[in-house]
Structure formats: C-alpha cells, structure tokens
Amino acid sequence: MSHSTARRVMHLGVFLDVSGHYASAWRHPSTQADRFFDLGYYKQLAGKAEQGKLDMVFLSDRYGIPDRYGNRFDTTVRSISSARLDPVTLITAIAAITERIGVAATSSTSFTEPFLTARQFASIDHLSGGRVGWNVVTSTSDNEARNFSKEGILEHQARYERAREFLEAANGLWDSWEDGALRFDKAGGVFADAGKIHYLHYQGEHFQVRGPLDVPRSPQGRPVIIQAGSSEAGRDFAARFAEVIFTAQPTIDAAQSFYADMKRRAAVTGRSPEHLKIMPGVMPIVAESEVEARRIEASLSDLVDPLAGLALLSDQINYDLSVHPLDEPLPELQEVSGMQSRLQLVAKMLQSERLTLRELGRFYAGSRMHRKVVGSPEQVADFMEEWFTGGACDGFNLMFPFVPDSMEQFIDLVVPELQRRGLFRTEYTGRTLRDHLGLPRP
C-alpha cells in the first residue's frame, strides 16, 4: 500500500429521508414517517450518524409535491412519504442539537436571490461552528417554477448560467468580510474595521448584488459546495464550483469513467483534483446474512406502488410519463427539459433491459438509478472498498432504504468493518465539515 493510499480516508454522508429512500419505506413496519415533525427523531438519526463518525447528513429538496405524473399529486401523496420540512431549516435545527457531524442542505439557484441564500448558509456555518454544506441544484420541474411566479423552468443551459452567477455572487458575499474584520475594541470604539469589509457590486445578467453581506466571514470561509449535476453543463459547473459531487453511478465502470473525467476537469480549471470529492449515492441493504438482506429487499419491493416510481421519475425529467401505456416499453423520449443525466441513465438501462413502464416504475421506486448493494456487512464493505480503492469514488452518500433500522444496521455492522480495514476514521480529527472532508478553507 503506497503512502498516499494509506492516508486516504473514505468519506461518508447520510442522505437523510424521514422514512427511507425506498418509495415504500414508510409502509415498512419499523419506520416512523409520522415522526417527521419531531426534532427528537432527527436527534436520534443524526446522533446515530455522529456516533458512526460519518462526515455529514445530507438533505435533498424540491419545491412542492411531485405532480408531473398526470399533472396531479394523488399518486405521490398516497404512496410516498411526500411531505417534507424545509431542508435549510431542518439542518439548522439538527446543527443545534449535534456537535461534530456536518450538515448539508439542498437549495436551488433558480427561484431566489443569492443574498438571502448566502446569508442563511453563512449563519448556519457560524452557529454550527463550521459544519455546513450547500448542495446546489438548478431545479428541473416546471411545477416547481409555478410555485415561484414563473411559467416554467429555464432551459438547461440557461439554468446553469443563472447558477454560475448565483455562485459567483454568493462567493463574493462570503468573502466580503475579510478574516479579522471584527475588532470588538470597546475602549477605542471600533466594532469592526471598515477597511476589511468590501462592497461587491456584482453585475450579472440575472443578479445585481451590491453587498457587503451583513454576516462576517464564517468559520469555514464558505460553506462546502456540493453539486449533483452530471450532464455536460453540470460537469463544467461542478469542475469550477463544487467540492463534493453527489452522483448516480449504477456500475463501477461508469463510476470510474465519471471519476476520471471530473478529476481531469478540476485539474483543467487549475484546481487540485484532491479538492473535489466524488461521492456516488449508494443504497446499502445490509443484514447479518445475504439471504436476510435479500429478504428485506423483496419485502420493500412488495410494498411498492409502481406508479410512485413513475411519479418520481416524471418529476425529475419534467415529463409526464402517464401518457404512455403502463404495460408496454417506454418509447424513446424527445425534447425532455428536466434532469438530463437522469434521463440518460434511464435510457441506457432500457437499452439493455427491456422493461415495461410499470416495471420501470417498480425499479425506479427502489433506488432511483443509484447503485443498490445487498448483502452481509462484509459484502457491503467489499463493494465499498472495491469502488473506493478502484478509482471509482472518494466515498459515498448513503441512501438507507428504510430508517432508522437500516441506518442503525449499517453503522453498527458496516462502519466497524470499514474501520477494521483502515478505510474509515475511528474518531473525528477536526471540527469543521471541511476538516472531515479534507478540503481547504477558501
């Protein structure tokens, strides 16, 4: 084992969902979707992740109830844990009741102004002692736009243009107070040093932001920027701005190719490839034995409503799949404006596996094109080690199928196995999310 390999540590996030990522998870006897209002429940979940020394909890977002499928929300609200809490709000509360683990929330660049978003994340960074991350998304559904006084989403390239401006303005705001600008000089009567606080005067096509921010520079300087776009425009954006990439990679070959491509793109922009961490989503279904794990997977699958999967997919690709017959294969889709990378993954799978739309829905309700790993703790650890040491990733965003049980199983059984193998930390060594992830302070 080379020196650099010996020092490399796997990064693990928990992609938190109130009952779990399997669309049917809320129906599993052990889940507690009815506790999603309850801060004590999040304390239990985040506390368990913290006990496992994980890097961060991660919350996704979309603005509204998925209703692209048939342009109604009946399927969604009946069959999926469809209610949510605002994730930026929720990570703030989680940060207040945890000590060490990072907290990352999704927020879109398409519907708000950079000032307030930058201010909220800077504030969470202060209150958490430097543990916040922002998962930047551009949003993919017209029905989300219609909650924000717009007819529909911008087209793909324009969404990323707006996102670029949003990030440029946010970065400028976070940097508008230099470190050390606060003086607190009571005797001299100097609260802050005006010479170390700067107007921004950002002039973009979408945003004009005068600045400065009214929040001094935060412990991490800037929140950790996470990004999940895997399309061409998404990759360019990520190479420039992202520090963590969350991505759906069904196979190790695809993951290795994506990993190499993103590290190369980061280097081209002049960044160190080590400062861009690639963390594919993975759904671990783990039990004492493989047989038991397979049994759990089957029981979750039995509870699935295939339409729930189609409702989720319709929303993400911004295309109403209800117009196609359920028991025939899906024809090739044209002019779909939503999440391009997701559409490509689905199309690729349908080339090799001839599924009906109903079968696709059942499949998608599982892990939504993210890799599923089913087996014993050793088998799951083997999988993770193979990807991690094989140039496919720097860690994983863990999508537990049902919680809290499958999360507790993973942390009690798989984390110790990873630790035994020297692949994962046994104790937090730093204070901030940047420390956990091995990222520099900007």
Subset of residues 127 to 186 that bind a copy of itself, contact rule: CB under 8 A: 127, 143, 146-150, 177, 182, 184, 186
* Minimum distance, C-beta of residue 103 to a copy of itself, in the bound complex (Å): 11
Of 244-283, binders to a copy of itself (CB under 8 A) are none
Asked if 120 and 87 count as a contact pair (C-beta separation under 8 A), the reply is: no
Residue 168 is classified by DSSP as H
Q: In the range 18-47, which residues lie near a copy of itself by CB under 8 A?
A: 26-29, 33-34, 37, 39
Which residues from 64-83 bind a copy of itself, rule CB under 8 A?
A: 64-65, 72-74, 77-83
Residue partners of 83: CB distance under 8 A and separation at least 6: 36
Q: Would you say the C-alpha torsion 44, 47, 52, 56 has a positive or negative sign?
A: positive
Pick the closer one to a copy of itself by CB: 115 or 424. 115
Q: How many CB atoms within 10 Å of residue 405? A: 18
- Interface positions, 346-405, toward a copy of itself (CB under 8 A): none
Nearest approach, Cβ of residue 413 and a copy of itself (Å): 26
Using DSSP's 3-state secondary structure scheme, residue 134 falls into: strand
Nearest to 183 by CA among 175, 192, 196: 192
Residue 211 beta carbon to a copy of itself: minimum distance, rounded to whole angstroms = 7
Interacting residues with a copy of itself between 396 and 435 (CB under 8 A): none
Of 211-219, 233-241, 272-280, 364-372: span binding a copy of itself (CB under 8 A): 211-219
User: Which of residues 44, 47, 70, 93 is near a copy of itself by CB under 8 A?
Assistant: 93
Number of residues that bind a copy of itself (CB under 8 A): 76
Nearer to a copy of itself, 172 or 229 (CB): 172
Binding test (CB under 8 A) with a copy of itself, winner from 44, 47, 70, 193: 193
Answer for which of 44, 70, 123, 431 binds a copy of itself (CB under 8 A) is 123
Residues in the chain, overall count: 442
β-pairing, 208-209 with 202-203? antiparallel
Among candidates 254, 318, 301, which has minimal Cα distance to 280?
Answer: 254
When the beta carbons of 124 and 345 are compared against a copy of itself, the nearer one is 124
- Contacts with a copy of itself in 296-325 (CB under 8 A)? 303, 305
Q: Using the rule CB under 8 A, give the single segment among 111-119, 311-319, 345-353, 426-434 that binds a copy of itself.
A: 111-119
Task: Name the minimum Å distance from CB 436 to a copy of itself.
Answer: 19
Q: Which of 44, 113, 178, 299 binds a copy of itself (CB under 8 A)?
A: 113
Measured between alpha carbons, how far is 228 from 57 in angstroms, rounded to an integer? 15
Name which position in 5, 194, 335, 354 contacts a copy of itself (CB under 8 A): 194
The residue among 213 and 369 lying less far from a copy of itself, judged by its C-beta, is: 213
Does 331 sit near a copy of itself (CB under 8 A)? no
Alpha helices in 284-427 (DSSP H): 290-302, 306-317, 340-352, 357-367, 377-389, 405-409, 415-420
Applying CB under 8 A, which part among 44-52, 90-98, 229-237, 323-331 lies near a copy of itself? 90-98
> Are β-strands 56-59 and 371-375 bridged in parallel, bridged antiparallel, or unpaired?
unpaired
Ordered DSSP codes for 171-234: HHHHTSBPTT-EEEETTTTEEE-GGGB----EE-SS-EE----SSPPBTTBSPEEEE---SHHH
CA angle 154, 159, 161 (to 5 degrees): 130
Q: Work out which of 167, 209, 228, 255 binds a copy of itself, going by CB under 8 A.
A: 209
Conformation bin of residue 390: beta by default, left when phi > 0, alpha when psi is -120 to 50: alpha
Of the candidate residues 136, 153, 163, 215, the single one contacting a copy of itself (CB under 8 A)? 215
H or E stretch including 394?
none
Q: How far is the CB of 158 from a copy of itself (least distance, A)?
A: 16
Contacts of 85-94 with C-beta under 8 Å, sequence gap 24+, read: 85/36, 85/37, 86/61, 87/59, 87/60, 87/61, 88/120, 88/121, 88/124, 90/42, 90/59, 91/57, 91/59, 91/124, 91/132, 92/124, 92/127, 93/39, 93/42, 94/42, 94/43, 94/46, 94/57
Whole-number minimum distance, CB 28 to a copy of itself, in Å?
A: 8
Using the minimum distance from each CB to a copy of itself, give the nearer residue, 85 or 350.
85
Q: Which is nearer to a copy of itself, 28 or 362 (by Cβ)?
A: 28
116 binds a copy of itself per the rule CB under 8 A: yes
Stretch that binds a copy of itself, among 118-126, 231-239, 319-327, 394-402 (CB under 8 A): 118-126
